[in-house]
Structure 1
Amino acid sequence: MSDREPPATAGLDEAPRSVPDATSADDPIAADGLLDRVEAWRDAEPDADMRAELDDLAEAARSGDGDAIAELEDRFAGRLQFGTAGLRAAVEAGPMRMNRLVVRQAAAGLGRWLLEREADGSIERATERGVVVAHDARRKSDQFALDTCRVLAALGIRSMLLPGVQPTPVLAWSITGLDAAAGVVVTASHNPPADNGYKVFLETGSQIVSPVDTEISDAIGEVDPLAVEIAREDDHLIRYLDDSWQEAYVASVPSVRLRPDVAGVPVAYSAMHGVGAETIEMAFAAAGFDRPIPVVEQHLPDGSFPTVSFPNPEEPGAMDLLLETASESGAAIALANDPDADRLGAAIPQPDGTWRRLSGDEIGWLFADHILSNTSGDDRLVVTTLVSSSLLADMAAAHGVHAEETFTGFKWIGRIAHERRGEQRFVFGYEQALGYLVTDRPLDKDGISAAVLMAEIAACAQADGVTVQDRLDAIAERFGRHVTAERSVRIPPSVGAEWVAAIESDPPAEVGGVAVVGVESYPEADLVRLRLEGGARLQVRPSGTEPKVKLYAEAVDVDPDRLEELLDALASAAPDA
């Protein structure tokens, strides 16, 4: 596979513009060393727009602007923390935001961690095998990706940069194909438009899990972000890949089809302004399906996300343009990826001509029904998360296959799939937040291969003279109608964690007038499960990425409004911020 030439310099630096002197005792931002930290960061910042941003904030702060002072204090309150989701924040100047200095610090920390793992023998030939790097279309993503390669090269570590913008599944799939020691993708996934992020993958093609996240975070913390060594763009340790790995990924997608004899149906599709469109069109063609009918306004990559304020298929309104396209085109099913194409949303037509968006669990049930009905073997394994529906375990038992429930976050599904290799055969994993894995590579959620298989499910339904809704009704008739609901309570992280701990240590006697008959704790997931009289279950956990607590409810053959009432009652007990 041939390589491409290094890109032109990503962003020309301008000559620094000095911050005006301000050393008097009454300077509003001189106290507590804030001024020194701002000036030091500003002088090290490689991007002119970031320097200008700090200059403007500093000038406003010196004039007594309280908002500017508070903004600077917030941006310089510490460092952006690296966790199991990597880094995510708004693209702005300062150590608590996403910018090139923060990315260089993260890359250096990752590089040091790899060098340590190579030295202790836990990762073989890390420097030689190197790191695969990709990026999406968000602001500065290309610069962040290239800087990652340059920092790794300065540490003596090989890097391989995928061309252009790439879906996260292509990056994850390429890690094992290239036998890399790790992978990095610059993306904020489905976060708001102002954000960007930084995900790290293990050599298995799955996202990092504890304790690796803590180890890398500690390594990052030892790096001075203002003094990271960086190599030239044409350094011999940086390899610029061509399109071959995207093509190899696409060539693997048809293997997910279980009924290749069934002809396709019209599929409406939204890329949500992300980077999935080109790859999914290639994947559909390779799988023998017609090109999906695109939502034209959302088809091309655009990091400003002009038609959606929150580019997440789970969010109300995010799929409105897709449903219009599906209705007008006569599609049999409507599919949407999130911006980095590792998640999949879906909607189906109703008898009255309207369209209904499916929940993440409903999509998971459809996949499980199709996969378990069209595969065989008692060594099969399906995996889901604690907060997803319990129905998958019942479906697995009916088919005589293994089922596993793991912590929240797809990284744990990938870990189990990897650990069980040779013992059990992973065939499906999902989490209710629209994450699905319908093959055994990559070991991360993949919205592209999942879209191909969901198109096959719709095609099989039509071939059998039924609808996708009929499929769901048949599942409910066999296993009971599982009803699920979710709620988020926005409170500061520390308050949320204390509330969940209080529920665990002193659980309520009842919720919404229904007695609590059991309490289960999952400290590794920061989750508490309440079992109510009559079979309903409520679950509570702090969000790992946002200042809120998430509530989940499930019951069988219950009025959905009653389930919402139970969530309302639980949410009403939340402490004030």
Structure 2
Amino acid sequence: MASDDVLVARAREWLAQDPDPETRAELKALLEAGAPLEDRFGAELRFGTAGLRGELGAGPNRMNRVTVMRAAAALAKVLGPGGHVVIGYDARHKSELFARDSAAVLTGAGLRVSLMAAPWPTPVLAFAVRHLGCAAGVMVTASHNPPRDNGYKVYWGDGMQIVPPVDREIADAIATVGRVDELPLGSAWETLTAERIVEPYLEAVTALPIGDARDVRVAYTPLHGVGGEVLTAAFRRAGFPEPAVVPSQAEPDPDFPTVGFPNPEEPGAMDRLLDLAAETGADIAIANDPDADRCAVAVPGPDGSWRMLTGDEVGGLLAEHVLARTSGDDRVVATTIVSSSLLGRIAAAHGVRQAVTLTGFKWIARAARPGERLVFGYEEALGYTVGTDKGLPVRDKDGIGAALVIAGLAAEAKRDGRTLLDLLDDQARRYGVHATAQLSVRVTDLGRIHRSMARLRAEPPRELGGRAVESADDLAEGVDGLPPTDGLRYRLAGDARVVIRPSGTEPKLKCYMEVVVPVAGSVPDARARADRALDAIRDDLAAIVD
């Protein structure tokens, strides 16, 4: 821990170069008050998970203009002059400012820059990297994090989020960047209009295997994010009726005033959407997260109440839909080590390979081997990428494209007098009930997560939910040919599994559970047995991780 004098010296050095009057005033007030500085200046945001993400504020352990300009200068050093970089941004606090600072630093370093003209979804940026033939892309977003956060996501020329060693090279280069007020800045970047990039993106996603049915009533929310305009345009172009949109959440608002957390997975986040769906008699309800790379789905049940589908349920439906509408034994589908095992059974039934990766779309998008085509990938956290026989138009999760395909699937089911719940029952009869659930423990002290993981490594449980723990794998040692990662996997008696890992983007310890139950009688009976088993496992997990 640095001394108070060292921290004050660091703060004054930061203050001298900070171009932002807001964070300068914030830091001056802290210095004048003699406030603690350890959290801001005793550490710095770590460049990982394809970039930076953290709370807004002054200091190297916060997201601010100095942090962003240093990251842009580091990216410029790794790329070298002459390359082309496309920059996008969402509607969060300071996103456009961070994007413009990045453009100034990159053009000042001799790179060509295309800066998007408006806040658009993350999948539009991921698409733009390859469409424009860029060397790299930058998206300023914190996705579904709380309002006080922002982030900086980097894509490489292949249109995918960066992975080692590129992320380490950028992190190392950040350490060599001097004062940002001494960086050469440029201003001759290109403004990328909707005609140049949103239109080609819409053309690509409306060519996905949507099917030919269009009679479906959709209720939708962008959760105060940037997805509304693009999703509505995509539905219109694809020939669907225009969705009914939650009025209070339709426009971008960086404060996300109607939700506690702007994440469709969080309790209460979908309440207004489900109210609208019931009022309008919708067949399906769809939500994007604020940067529209995730897609949440809810459907009405037989009793009229609405039920959220899990990411694994949507992933299974989309996988079967895509595999039925593509061809070739070179196809591959992919999901992560924490997602359901259902995808493997679907893949086997269609005669294609399933790849299992570490968590994160930077790994899913790279799942195909030479000579293979990735036609579908998903992660249980509501992220999906849908392809065609020509491959993936977006090599990252795409909440707009996924929404189009799930709407098409719902329209086909409706035409046949059925629902998505009926399709899920079909899969249960064919492959067994694959019931999944999560337990997340949000913390303010990150040390709690490290202590919990250390304790579980030292003393793995012998039983969970009345099922013997048959094997315990430390993912940090690398398993099944995967790179090492901080996580634990327990295989339980009776075809059940638990994976425990720290979140890569939020201060959470996350537990992923799965129970597989064959359908011998009715599907509801099998689901009830699976749910009881999950509840028992969850109760035991809560006791050992909290």
Tell me, yes or no, whether TM beats 0.5. yes
SS at match of 1:94: coil
Following superposition, the deviation at residue 128 of structure 1 comes to 2.9
2:94 corresponds to which of 140, 150, 155: 140
The answer to whether residue 402 in structure 2 is matched with residue 431 in structure 1 is no
SS at match of 1:36: helix
Q: How does 1:545-556 map to 2 (within 5 A)?
A: 545-556=505-516
Q: How does 1:463-478 map to 2 (within 5 A)?
A: 463-478=415-430
Following superposition, the deviation at residue 504 of structure 1 comes to 4.5
Following superposition, the deviation at residue 54 of structure 1 comes to 1.4
2:55 corresponds to which of 90, 111, 118: 90
Aligned to 1:571: 542
Q: How does 1:224-303 map to 2 (within 5 A)?
A: 224-233=178-187, 235=188, 238-243=189-194, 244-260=196-212, 262-303=213-254
The answer to whether residue 2 in structure 2 is matched with residue 50 in structure 1 is no
Aligned to 2:533: 562
Aligned to 1:7: none
Tell me if structure 2 keeps the 8 A contact 1:270–1:336.
Answer: yes
Q: How does 1:84-233 map to 2 (within 5 A)?
A: 84-115=49-80, 127-233=81-187
Following superposition, the deviation at residue 160 of structure 1 comes to 1.0
Instruction: Give the residue type in structure 2 aligned to 1:393.
Output: G
Aligned to 2:499: 539
CA distance in 2, matches of 1:433, 1:465: 30
SS at match of 2:507: coil
CA distance in 2, matches of 1:537, 1:388: 10
CA distance in 2, matches of 1:305, 1:361: 27
Aligned to 1:26: none
SS at match of 1:454: helix
In the TM superposition, what whole-angstrom CA distance separates every residue of 1:301-340 from its partner, at most 9, and x where no partner exists?
Answer: 1111111121011111101111111111111100000000
Unaligned runs of 5+ in 1: 1-28, 62-68, 116-126
Following superposition, the deviation at residue 378 of structure 1 comes to 2.2
2:328 corresponds to which of 377, 380, 384: 377
Following superposition, the deviation at residue 449 of structure 1 comes to 0.6
Q: Could you say what the CA RMSD is over the residues aligned between the two structures, in angstroms?
A: 1.8
Following superposition, the deviation at residue 367 of structure 1 comes to 0.5
In the TM superposition, what whole-angstrom CA distance separates every residue of 1:71-93 from its partner, at most 9, and x where no partner exists?
Answer: x2211112211102411112111
Unaligned runs of 5+ in 2: 477-483, 518-528
SS at match of 1:81: coil
Aligned to 2:521: none
CA distance in 2, matches of 1:428, 1:272: 25
2:12 corresponds to which of 39, 51, 71: 39
CA distance in 2, matches of 1:114, 1:441: 24
The alpha-carbon distance between structure 1 residues 518 and 283, as it changes in their structure 2 partners (threshold 3 A), is same
Following superposition, the deviation at residue 477 of structure 1 comes to 1.3
Tell me if structure 2 keeps the 8 A contact 1:91–1:99.
Answer: yes
The answer to whether residue 330 in structure 2 is matched with residue 357 in structure 1 is no
Following superposition, the deviation at residue 58 of structure 1 comes to 2.0
Tell me if structure 1 keeps the 8 A contact 2:105–2:186.
Answer: no
CA distance in 2, matches of 1:312, 1:228: 39
Following superposition, the deviation at residue 536 of structure 1 comes to 1.1
The answer to whether residue 338 in structure 2 is matched with residue 338 in structure 1 is no
Aligned to 2:524: none
Aligned to 1:398: 349
CA distance in 2, matches of 1:212, 1:91: 25
Following superposition, the deviation at residue 559 of structure 1 comes to 3.4
SS at match of 1:405: strand
CA distance in 1, matches of 2:94, 2:319: 39
Instruction: Give the residue type in structure 1 aligned to 2:467.
Output: V
Aligned to 1:313: 264
Instruction: Give the residue type in structure 1 aligned to 2:72.
Output: A
CA distance in 2, matches of 1:317, 1:85: 29
Tell me if structure 2 keeps the 8 A contact 1:130–1:157.
Answer: yes
Following superposition, the deviation at residue 263 of structure 1 comes to 2.4
Instruction: Give the residue type in structure 1 aligned to 2:536.
Output: E
Q: TM-score, normalised by structure 1?
A: 0.87
CA distance in 1, matches of 2:70, 2:83: 21
SS at match of 1:573: helix
Tell me if structure 2 keeps the 8 A contact 1:408–1:525.
Answer: no
Tell me if structure 2 keeps the 8 A contact 1:269–1:335.
Answer: yes
Q: How does 1:52-71 map to 2 (within 5 A)?
A: 52-61=25-34, 69-70=35-36
Tell me if structure 2 keeps the 8 A contact 1:108–1:228.
Answer: no
